[in-house]
C-alpha cells in the first residue's frame, strides 16, 4: 500500500510517495529545512509560512509547524549529547550509545571514521553490497561529523579496509544503484567521491536498520 503526502506552501505543491515499508519522514524533514533556509526568499515573493500545510492520505491535514513540533518533541526525549555522533543520533532519533556500538568517529577529525562490521552477521551478500553499504555510512560520517562533503577515493578505500571491508574491485559498487548514491569526480589520485541527496537518504535508512539490528542482538 502506498502513502501519499502533499505539501502546499502558497503556490508551491510537492507530493511525496512512499510504500508502507519506506520511511518518508527524511524527505519531509529535508523539505522543512529547505523551506526554513529559504524563508526570506519566499516572503519576498509574497508566500507566507502560515499557509503551509501537509496532507496525507492516511492522517488528514496538519500544518508543517505541527509536524516539525512533533519531531522536535520526540528528539527532546533524547538526552542532549555534544559528541561527534550526537548530531546524527538526534537526527535519526537514536541513542549515541547505540551508534557507538558499531561506529567510531574522531572528534578531533584526525582519524578515519570506522564501522565495526564484525558486530553484524552480514551487511551484504556480495562484496559489492558490503562496499556500497559501508561507503554510504563512511561518507555520511565524514559529511556529518567531519564537515567534509567530498573525500578522496583513495582515502575511502583506506577507511573500508580499516572497517574490515575489502576495497578490491571497488569501482563495481558505483554501478546500478550506486550511480544514484555516489557523485564521483576526477581520475586517479585526484579522484573524489561524495554522497548525492538520495545517497544521504539511503545512508540514514541503513544506519537506522543497523542500529535496530544491533539493539535487538
Q: Which grid coordinates are listed for 180?
A: 544514484
What is the average per-residue pLDDT within 83-97?
86
Supply the mean pLDDT for the chain: 78
HSE toward the beta carbon, residue 69, CA cutoff 13 A: 5
Residue 61 phi, psi dihedral angles, 5° rounding: -115, 130
How much is the pLDDT for 200? 95
For residues 13-24, average pLDDT: 63
Mean pLDDT of 107-119: 87
Give exposure, 102-124, as e/b (b: 16+ Cβ within 10 Å): bbbbeeeeeebbbbebeeeeebb
For residue 95, the SS3 value is coil
Check whether 29 has a pLDDT greater than 70: no
| Rounded-to-integer distance, Cα 205 and Cα 8, Å | 26
Q: Which residue has the higher pLDDT, 21 or 143?
A: 143
User: CA angle at residue 129 from 141 to 138, to 5 degrees?
Assistant: 10
Most confident among 8-17, 28-37, 110-119, 133-142 (mean pLDDT): 133-142
* Stretch 137-149: mean pLDDT: 94
What is the total residue count of the chain?
A: 217
Q: Is the pLDDT of residue 52 over 50?
A: no
Q: How many helices (H) and strands (E) does the chain have?
A: 9, 9
pLDDT score for 3? 67
CA 65/CA 52 separation, integer angstroms: 8
Q: Does the pLDDT value for residue 25 go beyond 80?
A: no
| C-beta separation of 105 from 87 below 8 A | no
d(CA 173, CA 131): 7
103 versus 32: which is more confidently predicted? Answer: 103
Is the model's pLDDT at 82 over the cut of 50?
A: no
Amino acid at each position: 500500500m502506498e502513502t501519499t503526502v502533499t505539501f502546499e506552501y502558497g503556490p508551491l505543491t510537492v507530493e511525496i510517495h512512499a510504500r508502507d515499508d519506506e520511511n518518508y519522514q527524511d524527505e519531509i524533514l529535508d523539505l522543512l529545512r529547505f523551506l526554513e533556509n529559504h524563508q526570506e526568499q519566499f516572503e519576498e515573493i509574497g508566500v507566507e509560512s502560515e499557509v503551509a500545510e501537509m496532507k496525507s492520505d492516511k492522517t488528514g491535514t496538519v500544518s508543517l509547524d505541527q509536524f516539525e513540533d512533533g519531531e522536535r518533541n520526540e528528539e527532546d526525549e533524547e538526552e542532549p549529547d555534544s559528541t561527534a555522533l550526537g548530531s546524527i543520533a538526534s537526527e535519526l532519533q537514536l541513542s549515541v550509545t547505540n551508534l557507538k556500538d558499531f561506529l567510531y568517529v574522531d572528534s578531533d577529525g584526525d582519524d578515519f571514521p570506522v564501522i565495526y562490521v564484525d558486530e553484524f552477521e552480514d551487511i551484504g551478500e556480495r562484496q559489492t553490497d558490503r562496499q556500497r553499504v559501508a561507503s554510504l555510512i563512511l561518507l555520511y560520517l565524514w559529511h556529518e561529523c567531519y564537515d567534509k562533503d567530498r573525500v578522496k577515493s583513495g582515502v575511502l578505500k583506506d577507511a573500508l579496509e580499516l572497517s574490515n571491508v575489502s576495497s578490491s574491485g571497488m569501482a563495481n559498487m558505483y554501478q546500478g544503484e550506486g550511480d544514484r548514491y555516489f557523485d564521483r569526480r576526477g581520475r586517479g589520485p585526484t579522484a573524489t567521491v561524495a554522497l548525492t541527496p538520495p545517497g544521504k537518504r539511503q545512508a540514514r535508512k541503513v544506519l537506522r536498520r543497523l542500529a535496530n539490528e544491533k539493539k535487538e542482538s
